[in-house]
Amino acid sequence: MTGDAPALVLGIETTCDETAAAVVAREADGKGRILSNVVRSQTAEHAPFGGVVPEIAARAHVDVLDGLIATAMKDAGTSYARLAGVAAAAGPGLIGGVIVGLTTAKAIALVHDKPLLAVNHLEAHALTPRLTDNLAFPYCLFLASGGHTQIVAVLGVGNYVRLGTTVDDALGEAFDKVAKMLGLPYPGGPQVERAAGAGDAARFSLPRPMLGRPDANFSLSGLKTAVRNEASRMGRLQPNDIDDLCAGFQAAVLDSVADRLAVGLKLFGERFGAPTALVAAGGVAANQAIRTALREVADRAQTRLVVPPPALCTDNGAMIAWAGAERLARGLVDGQDAPPRARWRLDDNVTIPATFANTRAGF
């Protein structure tokens, strides 16, 4: 492979309830192209239980992963010999699923003598806008999914500072729990968004947790409890009651997100200067009402809003492959002893570039 040839990386994602494989190309100039991106959702398997069952998820990954990888390679029109590396999400996530994907990647890398990239799933979300929009560092990331709600300063590949996080429930988790308590089907997030569109957000007085605080942290459990209390008070819920509760819940979430992000952007500016953009990633970023709120926050902060396409906001193999390609370009490869991790903070073992070193003092 010549210095000007694109680096092709296979990416594997199995951290939760999507099995995914993809091939991306990273050009010599740093730009990326998706050559294939195959995702198999497990929604049908988990729907009867109202949430993801880890053992079922792991078995489903085992059943379909080999076939998905073969499809991704075929769709990309490439072979293992042409790959520059093999990447897999090594965590954080459901440990059984993580083991399936990482073990498969290790086997492929070993057999075909390719570098292994053990990718942090959160880093893959963080770097996706560099694939979709060729975005320059540094930028401010709002990562919101079923398992994570964070505001992160993305300073470079492998260089992240967490500015805010949730102290209890993740944003997507809160949406799913509210849906479940109101009897809406799984997955709950889209169901709450749909019901909210038909509801009256002003009918119920719900709290806006953490508003006005100087930190950029989130809290969702009190809001979730308030929805439960209102639902219990009414007894048997009618369809319009459910719509109004969803509308009130979503409105409270929007106010909280806008306030927390405004503080996060302020902290970002104080420590690192103006960001190149506000970026939204994770499954919650597919919520159109939240996207509208984010656009308003970005406009007030006089910065650009970057939101990858919905298919690249939710879990997918292309984001893993791209994070692997970005790390490979910097020589950040892993050995066969790379461990699977149920927990893995994005800002673990971070080295802040000299440009930003003096701004982190006291943080």
In a domain, 1, yes or no: no
Query: 202-229: per-residue pLDDT in tens?
Result: 999 999 999 999 999 999 999 999 999 9
pLDDT band at 51 (very low <50, low <70, confident <90, very high): confident
Q: Does 126 share its domain with 188? A: no
In a domain, 361, yes or no: no
CB 42, CB 60: distance < 8 Å: yes
Q: Does 165 share its domain with 192? A: yes
Q: Does 111 share its domain with 153? A: no
Collapsed DSSP state (helix, strand, coil) of residue 271: helix
Q: Does 144 share its domain with 282? A: yes
Residue-number span of the structural domain to which 74 is assigned: 7-133+311-347
CATH at residue 212:
3.30.420.40
Q: pTM (2 decimals)?
A: 0.90
- Quote the tokens at residue 82: 């042409």
CB 35, CB 75: distance < 8 Å: yes
Query: 11-30: per-residue pLDDT in tens?
Result: 999 999 999 999 999 999 99
| DSSP secondary structure letter of residue 103 | H
| DSSP secondary structure letter of residue 334 | B
| DSSP secondary structure letter of residue 82 | G
Residue 137 in this model has a pLDDT that exceeds 80: yes
Cα–Cα nearest to 267, from 170, 352, 161, 354: 161
In a domain, 353, yes or no: no
